[in-house]
Amino acid sequence: MSLNNLIENYFHMSFSYNEILTHLSSNGIDISLRTLKRKLKQLDLYKRINYTPINIVREYLENCILGSNQLHGYKWMHRKCIGVGFVVKQETVRTLLKIIDPEGVEIRSRKRLRRRQYYNPGPNYTWHTDCYDKLKPYGISISGCIDGFSRLILWLEAAPSCSDPRAIGSFYLNTVEALRGCPITLRFDKGTENRHIEQFQQFLRRNNTSRRPSFLYGTSPSNQRIESWWSILRKHFTQFWMDVFRQLKDDGLFSGTFLDKNLIRFCFLNIIKKELKEMMLEWNIHRIRRSRNSICCYGRPITMFEVPEEYNTINFIHTVEISELQLCKNENMYSTNICCDKTVYELCNIILAEKRISLPDDPYSIIDVSLLVVDPCLNS
C-alpha cells in the first residue's frame, strides 16, 4: 500500500497526527510532522475546515438508524461519519441525533456500564474466546475472540451453529494465519465446541518453554474480557436483530422449525456477517478512555495491539510455522460457503431466480423478499 493510501486510511480512522506517525513508523515509514501535514493538504484531508454540508450528514445518519446502527451513541456515529469521509464535529452529530432520533437518545442516556478490574501484560498474552447465543433460537450463532491487553477484537463471526468445533477451529486458524502466530494462552469455557482450538493451541505451542499454560478453562464470569464485551455487542448490534426476529415470530412467520431457521440463515446470515465486520473495525479503531477504577491501558485497541512499545510492553505472540498451521487446517476442514442447509439453499436460489429478484442489503427490505421465498418453500 502506498504512503498516500496509508495516510488516507489512518486519517479516516480519525487518528491524531501523532498516532498516524506512530503507525507509519510501525510500517517502516518515518516522516516528520511537517511532511505529514503537507501530505494531508495535498490529499485535501482536513479536520476543521471544509465541513460536510449538514443536510448530507443528516441524510447519512437517517439511513444509518434504519438498521442496527440505531443502537449507536453519538460518539460511535461520529466515528462512522469520519470513516466515510465526512468532515463534521462530534457536537454536530450529537445534535442531529437528538433531532432525528430523540427516543433512541433517551433510551441510551439511561444505561450505564459497570467495569471490573483486569490486568494483562501485553498483546497476544491471553486471548479470550466465547460464543454468543442471543440469536441462537433463530438459527444464528456468533463467535468472538478478544485480546486481553488491547481489547482488540480478533474475530467476530456469525455461523449457522457454533456447536461444531470445526467452525470455532476455522475462526481460530484464520486468525493465527493472519497474525502469523498464536497467543501464549487461550482462555475459553469448557464446552465441546472448543475441543479443536484446545488441541490446535496445545500443538502450536508444544515447544514453548514458558510456564504459562497454553490454554485455560474457566466459567463464564472468570472469562470476563469477552463476557463483558457481549453487553457492548448487544447494545450496538444484537438488540436490533433480536427485535427484528421477534417481530417475525409475533407475526406468525417464524415457529422455530428446521425450515424456519434455515430460511432465516439464507436471508439474513450474510448481512449479519457484513455488519459484524463493520462493528469489529469500528470497535478496533475507537478510543478507549482512561478509567479511574481501572489499571488497564487506554487508547485505541489497534494501536495498543500493533504498537505495544508505545505502552512500554512487548508483543507476546508465539510465531507459528506455515507447515504446522497447514497440518491443523488439514485436520479441521470446515467450509463457510453455504450459509444454510444445502437443499434449502438451492431451493431458495431457484425461487429467487424464477422471480428475478436478489437479496437486498437493507434488513427491512430483506424481510419483504423473505416473504416471497417462504410460501414456495413450504409448498415444496
Report pLDDT digits (tens) over 155-196. 999 999 888 889 999 999 999 999 999 999 999 888 788 889
Do 235 and 354 belong together in one domain?
A: yes
> Using CA atoms, how far apart are residues 210 and 121, in angstroms rounded to an integer?
14
- Ranking 177-186, 254-263, 366-375 by mean pLDDT, the lowest is 366-375
pLDDT, tens digit, 9 for 90 and up, residues 271-320: 999 999 999 999 999 998 887 656 678 889 999 999 999 899 999 999 99
Mean pLDDT confidence for 3-25: 89
Q: Is residue 117 part of a domain?
A: no
Do 142 and 194 belong together in one domain?
A: yes
> Using CA atoms, how far apart are residues 347 and 173, in angstroms rounded to an integer?
32
Strands 153-159 and 181-182: unpaired
The DSSP symbol for 217 reads E
Q: Is residue 278 part of a domain?
A: yes
pLDDT, tens digit, 9 for 90 and up, residues 38-97: 999 898 888 888 889 999 999 999 888 888 888 888 888 998 898 888 889 999 999 999
Do 190 and 312 belong together in one domain?
A: yes
Q: What is the pTM of this model?
A: 0.77
Q: Which helix (H) or strand (E) holds 215?
A: strand 215-217
Please, are residues 72 and 279 in contact by the beta-carbon 8 Å criterion?
Answer: no
Task: Pull the grid cell for residue 175.
Answer: 486468525
Instruction: Provide the pLDDT for residue 124.
Output: 94
- Among 80, 110, 140, give the residue marking a domain's end: 110
∠375-377-380 over CA atoms, to 5°?
110
> Using CA atoms, how far apart are residues 226 and 216, in angstroms rounded to an integer?
14
Q: Is residue 379 part of a domain?
A: no
Q: Is residue 198 part of a domain?
A: yes
Do 194 and 94 belong together in one domain?
A: no
Instruction: Provide the pLDDT for residue 220.
Output: 64
Please, are residues 45 and 10 in contact by the beta-carbon 8 Å criterion?
Answer: no
Name the residue range of residue 78's domain.
3-110
Task: Pull the grid cell for residue 191.
Answer: 464446552
Instruction: Provide the pLDDT for residue 378.
Output: 52
Do 151 and 86 belong together in one domain?
A: no
Q: How confident is the model at residue 209 (pLDDT cuts 50, 70, 90)?
A: confident
Do 96 and 133 belong together in one domain?
A: no
Do 219 and 350 belong together in one domain?
A: yes
Do 144 and 104 belong together in one domain?
A: no
Please, are residues 334 and 174 in contact by the beta-carbon 8 Å criterion?
Answer: no
User: Distances from the Cα of 103 to the Cαs of 56, 81, 109, 111, 177, in angstroms?
Assistant: 22, 21, 10, 13, 44
Q: Is residue 164 part of a domain?
A: yes
- Among 85, 110, 135, give the residue marking a domain's end: 110
Instruction: Provide the pLDDT for residue 114.
Output: 42
φ and ψ at 28, to 5 degrees? 80, 20
- Among 47, 76, 110, give the residue marking a domain's end: 110
Do 74 and 152 belong together in one domain?
A: no
Q: Output the domain CATH number for residue 189.
A: 3.30.420.10
User: For residue 272, which of 166, 138, 174 has the smallest C-alpha distance?
Assistant: 138
Between these two residues, 310 and 119, which has the higher pLDDT value? 310
Q: Is residue 105 part of a domain?
A: yes
Q: Is residue 279 part of a domain?
A: yes
Do 61 and 13 belong together in one domain?
A: yes
Do 150 and 68 belong together in one domain?
A: no
Q: Is residue 118 part of a domain?
A: no
To the nearest whole percent, how much of the chain has pLDDT over 70? 93
**Structurally, how many domains does the chain consist of?**
2
Do 254 and 332 belong together in one domain?
A: yes
Q: How confident is the model at residue 229 (pLDDT cuts 50, 70, 90)?
A: very high
